[in-house]
Amino acid sequence: MRKIKIRMGDRTVDATVIDVNSSQEQWNQYLLSDGTLLKLKVVVTEVVRVDGEYDQEGNPVYYVKSTNILAVNPPEELKRRS
């Protein structure tokens, strides 16, 4: 595991990069009132555990770097004609 320093609020803290061994990145689907289907997927690119920091329930604090992938499937009548 690789050690790094990250900004947490107004201070710099030590953290550990945690490898992701397995993932299942499912599409979330949202049907809008205009008939458009939005599909959204969050893809995790890096997970970092803050050394010595815990939440109110005693769980270690993690920062997750991610990117969103969006697919838009509108009805034909909403598409611009070329």
For residue 49, count CB atoms less than 10 angstroms from its CB and return exposed for 0-12, middle for 13-18, buried for 19 or more: middle
The residues with which 60 forms a beta bridge, in sequence order, are 54
Is residue 15 within 8 A of residue 48, CB to CB? The reply is yes
At 62-72, the pLDDT tens digits run 999 999 999 99
Residue 80 tokens, joined:
């611009």
Q: pLDDT above 90 covers what percent of the chain?
A: 95
CA dihedral 55, 42, 33, 77 (to 10 degrees): 160
Domain locations along the chain = 2-77
Residue 79 tokens, joined:
């598409």
What was the pLDDT predicted at 1?
82
